[in-house]
Structure 1
Amino acid sequence: MRLLALCLTMLACGYMYAQDSTMHKQSQQLKYGYFSYKQALETMSGYGLAQQSVANLKAKYDAEMRRVEEEFNVKYEEFLDGQRDFAPSILKKRQAEIKELMEKNLAFKDEAKRQLQQAETEAFAQLKTKLANAILKVGKERGYAFILNTDSNSVPFINPAYGEDALQYIREAARQ
């Protein structure tokens, strides 16, 4: 019985050692890349044009919001100046107009914000797709198990013995 227990223990130890050395070899062979997505995107051709397009649209919306705000302020000042002299029915009508104008202004601001976000998404969609394809290509060509995005301090430590900075390869692949 003791001999059987001893044999089983030795067999289990040998199995564990073999698995540990296999895992160690696999971890030594594991290769990964890392890069800054933001840096890669900002250096792509077309980034400046997309950014300028979004900035121009934002400037137009900002100008329109200022105009609408000024219009509201003028009407509100007129209302405040004349409210003592208005008959009750005129006062209610003017209050309703001011309230409606304020609601329209808020709705416009919300819609402008939504449309600006959509325009930004559309402006950068092609660049992001091109970058995603470049990342995929580099990952396959360089034999990476994965590629990490180092933006926002999401990866505070990278051991250079296992990983390599893939930014230059991704930039080159994105240019093609």
Structure 2
Amino acid sequence: MKKLLFVFLMFVLPLAASAQVRMGYFSYNAILTSMTDYQLAKRSVDDLRLKYDAEMKRSEKEFNDKYEEFLEVQRDLVPSILRKRQAELQELMEKNTAFKNDAMRLLKQAETDALAPVKRKLNEAVARVGKEHGYILVLNTDNDACPYIDPELGEDATEAIKEAIK
């Protein structure tokens, strides 16, 4: 992605020298995390995460209790009952692992679903600001993607984007 951006900028910068080309830049994550809709979506996902965590803890406690009980009585069990109890413990452990994996997958999907309209709203605001200000592109400065932007060729679009979201 950085190479593609670099190649694109190498073609755009010579044009910028000969014409009045303007670029905007902003931090996507900074604006996204400051949005009210983001906070609501995050809170919703966090509430769901707490529910899954509580269920996982309950399942772990159930397994640990059964395992401790098994350890206490295993010497007195006949071989067939011993194998049955070991199989029950193995099945319970596998179910707990499967539930944990499903919970992680479902939480990730819930977060993606909850943030999709928020990101769409932000992307639409970025597009509006880009058109209104006559930018040829709007750069996301997150993750050091653009460590330097010439202030004569680019301008900080953060405040304009924040206003467009409201």
Give the structure-1-normalised TM-score. 0.83
Q: Percent identity?
A: 56
Match of 2:62 in 1: 71
* SS state at 1:160 partner: coil
Indicate whether 1:92 and 2:53 are aligned. Answer: no
In structure 1, the gaps of 5 or more residues are: 1-22
Distance across 1 between alignment mates of 2:35 and 2:70: 53
Contact 1:30 1:162 in 2 (8 A): yes
* SS state at 1:34 partner: strand
* SS state at 2:25 partner: strand
Distance across 2 between alignment mates of 1:62 and 1:158: 44
Match of 2:162 in 1: 171
* SS state at 1:74 partner: helix
User: Residue 96 of structure 2 aligns to which amino acid in structure 1?
Assistant: N
- CA deviations on 1:19-38 (whole Å, 9 max, x unpaired) are xxxx85x2232211110001
Figure out how many residues of one structure are paired with residues of the other and give that number.
Answer: 152
The runs of at least 4 consecutive aligned structure 1 residues that moved more than 6 Å come to none
Alignment equivalent of 1:33, drawn from 24, 31, 46: 24
Larger Rg: 1
- Give matches, 1:79-158, under 5 Å: 79-158=70-149
> 1:43 Cα shift?
2.1
Pairwise CA RMSD:
1.2
User: Residue 151 of structure 1 aligns to which amino acid in structure 2?
Assistant: D
In structure 2, the gaps of 5 or more residues are: 1-12
Distance across 2 between alignment mates of 1:72 and 1:43: 42
> 1:127 Cα shift?
0.7
> 1:104 Cα shift?
0.2
Give the structure-2-normalised TM-score. 0.87
